């Protein structure tokens, strides 16, 4: 996880990650969740 976040930051790139682990999600800048079949930004 650290390597992915550091690489994205150094390259100025976006990172798309799908997880069910809340501790992983907490480390990301934005969190999107599915609600009634639609993506909703939560942070």
Alpha-carbon span 34 to 37, nearest angstrom: 6
User: What does the pLDDT read at residue 14?
Assistant: 93
Q: Which residues pair with 32 in a beta bridge?
A: 41
pLDDT at 43 over 80: no
pLDDT digits (tens, 9 = 90+) for 5-41: 999 999 999 999 999 999 999 999 899 999 999 999 9
Alpha-carbon span 28 to 5, nearest angstrom: 8
């Amino acid at each position: 996880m650290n390597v992915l976040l550091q690489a994205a930051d150094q390259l100025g790139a976006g990172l798309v990650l799908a997880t069910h682990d809340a501790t992983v999600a907490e480390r990301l800048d934005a969190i999107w969740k599915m609600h009634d079949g639609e993506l909703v930004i939560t942070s």
